[in-house]
Structure 1
C-alpha cells in the first residue's frame, strides 16, 4: 500500500491546508462562544453554590483572553469588524516593507558565500546524480526518467540546431577548427607518422597500391603517350614508322618495370622509393625549409574558398542528419544517449576522485552564483511580493500559518480562563 504523502504547508494556498485552517478557526470561535455561554449560565447560579464562582471566573477570563487573541490574530490580516483601528491590518498595510525584509533576511542568511559553501560542502551532488543515472535497467521508474531526459535533450538539440543560423554556425565551427588546425605543426606530425609506418612495414600496401594505380593510369593514357612520342619524333622517324615502334617499346618497358617492381619486394626501385620516403620523413621533422613549405601548403588549403564551400556542405549534411535522428524515436541516437547517461552515472557513482572534482565545481558554481546574482535573486523575491495585491498576500500567508494562529486563540482562551480561576481563588484566600 502506498504511503500517504504529507500535506505541504506552503504559500501556494493548498486547498486541504485552507480547509484545515478554516476548521481550526471555527473551533477557536466555537470555544469562545462556549465560554460566553458558560459565563452567562454560571452567572445565574452564583447564589446556589460558591463553586459556580470558579466556573464563572474561568469563563469570564477565558472570554477576555480569547477576544484579545482574536483581535491580535485578526489585526495581522485585516481590520477587526471592518473598523479602521490604528495598527491593524498589519500585513496588507506593510506588504512592501515585509517584502524588503524577507529579501534582506534571505540575502543575509541563505545567499551569502559562506552559508552556501558550508551547505554545499555536506552535499554529494555527483553521487546523487550518479545514483539517479545508473539505476538498474529493470527499474522502470529509472528507465522512464532516463527516457524523459534523453527525449528532452534530443528535442532541445534539434531546436537549437534549427533555431541557429546554419551558415553562421557552420562558419563558427569552421573558424574554430581552422584556429585549432593553425596551432598544430602538421609537418613533424606527418613525418613521425611516415617514419613509424616505414619502420613497421605498413607503407608496403600503400606502395603496391600506388604501383597498380600507375599501371592502370598508363593503360588508360596509352594514346596520349603515343601522341607525345609521335609529336617529338623527327620527320624521318615518322616517315619510316619507327615512332610507332618506339612508343610501343616505351610502353612495354614501362609495363614490364611496373610488373617487376610489383612482384619483387627486393627490387632496387622499391629501395630508391623507400630511401626517398625516409628522407622525406626526416626532412618533415628536421628540415626548416620543408616544414615551412608544408605549413604554407596547409595555410593555402585552409584559406581556399573551395575548402570552405566543401566544409559548409559537409556541415549542412551533419546538421540535418542530427536533427532527423534527434526527432526520430526509432533512431539509435536515443539509445546511445541513454547508454551514455548510464555510463556517466556509473562513473559518477564509483569514481571518488571524479565525485570530488564535480562536487568542488558545483560548490564553486553555487558560491559564484550567490556572490554575483544573490542581489538579483532577492530583488526578484522582493518585487514579486510587492506585485501581489493585499488580498493575495493576506490569503497566502493566512493559508500557510492560519491553523497555527487559531491554536494561539485556543491557547489564549484556556490560559485566560486558568488565570481567571487563579485570581478568583487568591481573592478568596486573601
Structure 2
C-alpha cells in the first residue's frame, strides 16, 4: 500500500469504528428502554400479589418516560423524530447558516483574539528554528541553489520593467547633486598625506629622464634650437653644443631632485598641491568650473551607454556563473547562509529582536485576516451537504449524546421512585 493509500485508509477506518460504536450504543440504549417498558408492565401485572412491586413499577414507569423524553431530545438535534413534522426538531440542519455564522464569530472572537494569538506566538522560538535550519550546510546549499535559479528571471524582469534605466537615471541625478570641488579636495588631501603625492613627482622625473634620452625628441629639440640661432652659429654646430649642455644640465637637475627628498623643486610641488587643494575647498571660481565640467561630463550620451554596458557585462557575468557547475556565487551564498545561522545562534539579543519581530508581524497578519478566516469558516460550513453535516456531527458526538438517554432513564426512575414514596407517605397520613 502506498503512503497516499495508507493516509486515506486511516480516516476511513476511523469513521467506520466511530459509526460501529455509535450503533452499539444506540442499540444498548434502545434495549434499556425496552427493558424499562417490560419491567413496568410486569410489575404492574403482579403488583396485586406482591405490593413491593409498586416501587419497581414506579421506577420503571418514570425511567421509561425519561428515556423517551431524552430519546426525543437527542433525535430532534439531527432529524425529525419518526419523520413527523414537529416544530423545533431537526435543529442542526434547520439552523445550518446560523450555526455557521456563529461558529465563525466564535473562532474569531475566542481563538483569533490579539492576546491569545500573541501569547501562543511568543511560545515559539522562531529565531532558533531559522538558525537551526540555516546552520545545516545541506539546507543552506539547497537554499542557495534555489536563489541562484531565480537570478536569470530576476535580471530579465529588471530589463523588462525599465528598472535598469530608472536606476541609471537616479544614479546620475544623485551624482549631479554631489559637489565635485570639495570631494576632489578631500580625495587629494588624503592622497597628499605623508607626501604620497611625491611618488607622482618621481614618475614625472622618470618620464622627463626618458625624454632626454629619446633620439627623436632630441632631434626635434636640436631642430628647434637651429631655427632660433643665427645662421652663422649653425655653421659652427652651436645647436649640437647647446643641446648637449641643455640635456646635461637637465639630466643633472633631475638626478639631484630624484636623490634629494627635500629638494626645492619638491617643496615647490608640495606648496602647489596644498594651495590647489585649498582653492578647491574655498574658491567659488574653482567650484563653478568643477560643476560645469561635471555637468558637461554627465550630459554626454556616452555616460548612459557606459551604464548600459556595465549592466550588460554584470548581467553576463552573473548568468555565466550561476549556470556553472561550481558556481562561485552559489558557494558564497551557501557559506553566507551557514554563517548567518551560526551567528544568529550565538547572539541572544538578535534572536530576541527577531522573535519579537515575528510575533508583531504574524499577530498583525492574523488580526488583519481574522475576519476573512471567520467568513471562510462560515462559508465552508454553509456549503456542507446537510446529510453529510448531520452524519458527521452524529458520528463524532452522537455516542456521547446516547448516554443522555441512560442518564434520563436513571434520573427519571429515581425521581419516579421518590414521588411514589412521597405519595405513599401522604396517603398513609
Q: TM-score, normalised by structure 2?
A: 0.70
2:297 corresponds in structure 1 to 301
Q: How does 1:20-419 map to 2 (within 5 A)?
A: 20-40=14-34, 43-44=37-38, 46-47=41-42, 50=53, 58=63, 61-62=66-67, 64-72=69-77, 74-75=78-79, 115=115, 119=118, 123=122, 128-129=126-127, 132-133=130-131, 142-165=136-159, 168-212=162-206, 222=216, 226=220, 230=224, 233=227, 258=254, 260-328=256-324, 330-351=326-347, 353-355=349-351, 358=354, 365=361, 374=368, 378-379=371-372, 382=375, 386=379, 390-391=383-384, 404-419=396-411
Return closer, same or farther for 1:276/1:103 CA change in 2, 3 Å cut-off. Answer: farther
In 1, Cα distance between equivalents of 2:413 and 2:249: 133
Residue 264 (structure 1) shift: 3.9
Displacement of 1:144: 4.0
Q: Cα offset for 1:341?
A: 3.1
Shift of 1:273: 1.9
Answer whether contact 1:167 1:312 (CA < 8 A) is retained. Answer: no
Q: Distance in 2 between matches of 1:204 and 1:124?
A: 65
Q: Which runs of 5+ in 2 are unaligned?
A: 1-6, 47-52, 423-429
Shift of 1:52: 7.4
CA–CA distance in structure 2, aligned partners of residues 36 and 393 of structure 1? 26
1:57 and 1:228 map into 2 onto residues whose CA distance is: 143
Could you tell me how far 1:119 is from its partner in structure 2? Answer: 1.7
- Match among 398, 403, 412 for residue 420 of structure 1: 412
Q: How many residues align?
A: 403
Q: Is the 8 A contact 1:261 1:270 kept in 2?
A: yes
Q: CA RMSD in A?
A: 4.9
Residues of 2 paired with 1:289 and 1:322: CA distance?
45
Q: In structure 1, the residue corresponding to 2:122 is in which secondary structure?
A: coil
> Is the partner of 1:270 in helix, strand or coil?
helix
State the 1:186 CA deviation.
Answer: 4.2
Q: Hey, what's the Cα distance between the residues in 2 that align with 1:393 and 1:295?
A: 80
CA contact (8 A) 1:385 1:393 kept: no
Q: Distance in 2 between matches of 1:172 and 1:119?
A: 42
- Specify whether residues 119 and 87 from structure 1 end up closer, same or farther in structure 2 by C-alpha distance, changes over 3 A only: same
Q: Give the C-alpha shift of residue 182 in structure 1.
A: 3.8
1-structure distance, mates of 2:247, 2:319: 54
Per-residue deviation at 1:33?
A: 1.8
Which range moved further: 414-423 or 183-192? 183-192
SS of alignment partner, residue 262 of structure 2: coil
SS at match of 1:330: coil
1:33-53 superposed Cα distances (whole Å, 9 cap, x missing partner): 223234445645653785975
When normalised by structure 1's length, the TM-score is: 0.70
Deviation at 1:276, TM superposition (A): 1.4
Structure with greater Cα Rg: 2
- Between 209-218 and 22-31, the greater mean CA deviation after superposition: 209-218
* Alpha-carbon distance change, 178 to 158 in structure 1, aligned in 2, over 3 angstroms: same
Q: Shift of residue 133 of structure 1?
A: 1.8
1:107-142 CA distance string (max 9 Å, x none)? 666777x649x82797388x63255325795xxxx4
2:261 is paired with a residue whose SS is coil
